[in-house]
Amino acid sequence: MNEYRKDFPMLKQGYIYFNSASTALKPQIVIDASNEYYEKYSVNTNRGVDSLGYMVTNKYEQTRNKIAKFMNANANEIIFTRGTTSGLNLVARFFESAILEDDEIIVSIHEHHANFIPWQQLCMRKKAKLILVKTYRDGTVDLDDLKSKINFNTKIVALNHISNVFGGINPLKDIATIVHQYNAYFVVDGAQGIVHEQVDVKDLDIDFYAFSGHKIYGPTGVGVLYGKYSILENMEPAEYGGEMIDVVTLNKTTFKKPPYCFEAGTMMIAEVLGLGKAIDYIQSIGYSKMNEHVKQIRHYLIERLTQEIKDIQIYNRDIVDSNLITFNIKGIHSHDVASHLDSKKIIIRAGHHCASPLMEYLGVASTIRVSLAFYNTKEECNQLVGALKEVGDYLNVLFK
């Protein structure tokens, strides 16, 4: 996969980047697409009748069409958002008035804060119940436990597609079947999922799927919320303002149809255009090629870490299809490990991974997470192992 490294300007700065699950690096074509907008046709969408405006509006809508095709959705089911967090918060707001006292919302302990706090807060406001479904060690849902907990009071089941800590892949189709037997809605946090798996929302029968552009090699500040049109058309706008309206009078306002009634004000045009290029880029390589490479180097890295790093505890060693290696080294704080690696220009993630309930459940304050992408190499893994071997010595020198 070395041939693709030249596409990423950040890699020319000498960094070894093992933090793609936090945000992926951006290929030049994504950067160019955003720059081109600012340099050549930096006007607003949908306003006025000038030819540049038409052109930009067309490009913006073509990107919506491209994303719809990518996920097997209809274009009117694709809402541009700021990212996964804002997409999931928008869904929670949609259900503000529908959730009543004693209703139930099911989540798992493996949720990122973005797919936990909006539901926790909604339940607190409405005196509804937040129910935890049991999960296996890899973060995936125990379907028998889901079947035993779901009932006709359950209004929403909100789960990740792929856990950002352990990397287990949830069986979305099976979960959707169970959820719909109880007329509940299935909301999926796809922030990590769409990075690794082709998502077909129709086949999976998901009600909502939220993801972020920046994790799939696109720009920051843009994301997508897919919502089934039959649900969206019954939802109230969450924000009011320009471009989402049909007719405004002193006494009354009518709104455009979805998805436009959910895109108030000037949108992140440059970022949407960049996201379109990121999707072209992924498709030009293909998920299977990217995943196969990641699988190979992960296997290699895990073997070396296990054999050569004393007192390492890897939490997700056996999850074959993940890009994540989550671990701690006994007696050394994850932040100290990260600081040492940083001094070698090796970037990893250390902390609670925005999954504090899970950390509490595991009984650890934080972990180290190495997240691999198709642009990582075995040579980079060798350098990581070398640097990790020095961590103990580094601390001895620091604290002498």
Ligand X SMILES: Cc1ncc(COP(=O)(O)O)c(C=O)c1O
Binding site for ligand X (CB under 6 A): 22, 83-85, 112, 114-115, 160, 164, 189, 191-192, 212, 354
Nearer to ligand X, 112 or 277 (CB): 112
Q: Least distance in Å: CB of 305 to ligand X? A: 22
Residue type, 8: F
Nearer to ligand X, 169 or 387 (CB): 169
Q: Measure the CA–CA gap between 365 and 348, rounded to whole angstroms.
A: 17
CB 11 within 8 A of CB 17: yes
Q: Least distance in Å: CB of 20 to ligand X? A: 11
Q: Least distance in Å: CB of 165 to ligand X? A: 9
Nearer to ligand X, 226 or 394 (CB): 226
Our CA dihedral for 190, 193, 199, 205, rounded to 10 degrees, sits at -50
Active site residue: 123, 261, 354, 381, which one? 354
CA distances from 110 to 119, 133, 136, 339 (A): 14, 10, 10, 26
Q: Measure the CA–CA gap between 172 and 181, rounded to whole angstroms.
A: 14
Beta bridge partners of 129: 104
Q: Least distance in Å: CB of 3 to ligand X? A: 28
Nearby residues of 90 by Cβ (< 8 Å), 6 or more positions away: 79, 81, 225, 238, 262
Per DSSP, helices labelled H in 116-185 are 117-126, 143-149, 172-181
Q: Least distance in Å: CB of 349 to ligand X? A: 9
Q: Least distance in Å: CB of 168 to ligand X? A: 12
Q: Least distance in Å: CB of 146 to ligand X? A: 19
Is residue 354 part of the annotated active site? The answer reads yes
Nearer to ligand X, 126 or 196 (CB): 196
Nearer to ligand X, 262 or 394 (CB): 262
Angle, to 10 degrees, between the axis of helix 28-40 and the axis of helix 269-285? 150
Nearer to ligand X, 172 or 391 (CB): 172
Per DSSP, helices labelled H in the chain are 28-40, 51-71, 84-94, 117-126, 143-149, 172-181, 193-196, 201-204, 229-232, 269-285, 287-308, 334-343, 356-362, 378-389, 391-398
| DSSP code per residue over 103-122 | -EEEEETT--GGGTHHHHHH
Beta bridge partners of 329: 312, 332
Nearer to ligand X, 68 or 194 (CB): 194
CB 279 within 8 A of CB 67: yes
- Give the residue numbers annotated as catalytic, written as ranges: 354
